[in-house]
Structure 1
Amino acid sequence: MTKQDVINQVSEKTGLDSLTSRSIIESFFEVVTDALIEGNPIYIRTFGSFILKQRASKVGRNISQNTAVTIAAHVVPSFKPSLDFTNQVRAQGMAVEKKKVKL
C-alpha cells in the first residue's frame, strides 16, 4: 500500500476530497517528524508509539577492504505498536506470503 492508497481510503471513509486528505496525511507526517527531531515521543492510545531508540557504538566490517570500522552511537526512530493494535492484527490470522528463493 502506498501513501496515495492511504490518501484515497481516507477520502472514501471521511467523505473529504483528495486534496484535503492529502493535506491531513502530510501534516500528520510533519508533526511526527518534528516531534521526534525535538526528542519528543508520540503516544497514540490503541495504535502505538513513535519513539527514539539509542544505538550503542559498535565495530562493523568493511567487507570490500576487509577492515574494521567503528560505528558511532546514534539515535534511530522507531514505532512500537500498542497491545490492542497487535492483538487486532493477530486476530485476522492473515497468511504471510513466502518469498521465492532463487537457486
Structure 2
Amino acid sequence: MNKSELIDAIAAKADISKAAAGKALDGMVDAVTDALKAGDTVTVVGFGTFYVGERAERSGRNPKTGETITIAAAKSPKFRAGKALKDAL
C-alpha cells in the first residue's frame, strides 16, 4: 500500500474527503516527526510505539580497500508494534 492508497482507505473508513484525509495523514506524519526530533516517543494504544533508537560508534571495514574505518554513532526512527496490531496479524 502506498501513500495515495492509504489516503483512499482513510477517506473511505472515516467518511471524509480525500483532501481532508491527505491533510490528516500529513499532519500525523509531521507530528510524529516533530516528536521524534524532540526526543519523545509517540504511543498509539493498540497500534504501536514510535521511538528513536541509538547506535553506538563502531569500527567497520572499507570493502574496496580493506582499510579499517570508524562508523559514527547514529540515531534512527524505530517502531514497536502494539498487542492489538500483533493479534490482528
* Structure-1 separation of matches of 2:45 and 2:63: 44
What amino acid is the match of 2:87? N
Gaps of 5+ in 1: 90-103
Partner of 2:39: 39
User: Corresponding residue for 2:88?
Assistant: 88
Q: Secondary structure at the match of 2:54?
A: strand
Identify the residue that residue 22 of structure 2 maps to in structure 1.
22
TM-score under structure 2 normalisation? Answer: 0.93
- Partner of residue 52, structure 2: 52
* Cα displacement (A) at 1:47: 0.6
**CA positional deviation for 1:20:** 0.6
For structure 1, which segment, 18-27 or 51-60, has the greater mean C-alpha deviation from structure 2 after superposition? 51-60
Instruction: Report SS of the residue matched to 1:64.
Output: coil
One-letter identity of the residue aligned with 2:75: V
The structure with the largest alpha-carbon Rg is 1
For residues 19 and 84 of structure 2, the distance between their equivalents in structure 1, rounded to whole angstroms, comes to 31
**Aligned-residue RMSD, C-alpha:** 0.9
Q: Which has the higher contact order (CA 8 A, sep 6+)?
A: 2
Count how many residue pairs are aligned between Structure 1 and Structure 2: 89
Structure 2, gaps ≥5 residues long: none
Cα distance, 1:12 vs structure 2:
1.1
CA offset digits 1:42-97 (Å, max 9, x no partner): 011111000011111111121112211111222111000012211211xxxxxxxx
Q: Which runs of 4+ in 1 moved over 6 A?
A: none
Q: How far apart are the structure 1 equivalents of 2:3 and 2:86?
A: 22
Percent identity reads 27
